[in-house]
Amino acid sequence: MTEIGDIVSGPDIEQALLDTLRDFLPVYLAERATRRNLPASTYQVASYARAATIDTRFPNEYLPCVAARCISKANQGVEGGSGEVPAAFTVLVGVLLKDQQRDKASDIVWDYLAAIEAVLGQHGALGGVAVATLPGDSQPEDVPVEERRTLAGGTLEVQVIVEAAYNAYLGPTEPPGDPYEPLPDDPQVQDVDISFTRAD
């Protein structure tokens, strides 16, 4: 049996993208705050999350939130003798924030999207996971109006190109047996031998 090799999936891309934003985005947002002469607190991300893990009630302590959701993967054929299968992942990167005024919140969303685009355009390797990251269209999102707060959001579509989502030439050469170790009848119970020595 041969080695299976690395397999890159949507959650891997989401996490690499969020890790890159966590490292670099604060610097870019601080620059936006300075240019707009606004308090730095307006441009501080409270949470980064894969979209599948978000609490959709959006508690205040999690906002502003930057989230990533991989929505598709397109394989790009097989690379000659190496067998590597490059792929392009499409990811939506979103931001959700709150403010007292809707127009101000909408402006801040655009600043976040611009900063996110710049980070991903300038740090497209995502820590070595990707060959390139290509930011695409940005758009604000309608967020239901709440009586107690004003929410605003937006998304940026991103293409993440990876050199090898997997290798077509690796893997078992014949169907393997059961890859899992058999469990005992009751994995919670073990036999234990105990010996006693009389103390004088």
18 found inside a domain: yes
**CA 181 – CA 106 distance, rounded (Å):** 55
167 has a pLDDT exceeding 90: no
Q: What is the DSSP letter of 137?
A: E
Rounded CA gap, 28 and 21, in Å? 10
Average pLDDT, stretch 72-83?
A: 84
Q: Is residue 90 part of a domain?
A: yes
How does pLDDT run across 117-127, given as a tens digit for each residue? 999 999 999 99
Name the amino acid, one letter, at 150. Answer: T
| pLDDT higher than threshold 70 for residue 196 | no
pLDDT over threshold 90, residue 20: yes
* 19: CATH: 3.30.70
Say if 189 falls within a structural domain: no
pLDDT at res. 29: 94
What is the Cα–Cα distance from 49 to 69, expressed in whole angstroms?
9
pTM above 0.95, yes or no: no
Summarize pLDDT for 78-98 with one digit per residue, the tens: 877 888 899 999 999 999 988
* Total number of domains in the chain: 1
Q: What tokens appear for 61 in the block?
A: 């302590």
Whether residue 200 is contained in a domain is answered as no
Residue 17 belongs to some domain of the structure: yes
**What is the extent of the structural domain holding 93?**
10-167
Instruction: Calculate the CA dihedral of residues 157, 27, 141, 135 and round it to 10 degrees.
Output: -10
Residue 54: count other Cβ atoms within 10 Å of its Cβ. 16
Residue 1 lies in a domain: no
Structure tokens at 52: 């599948």
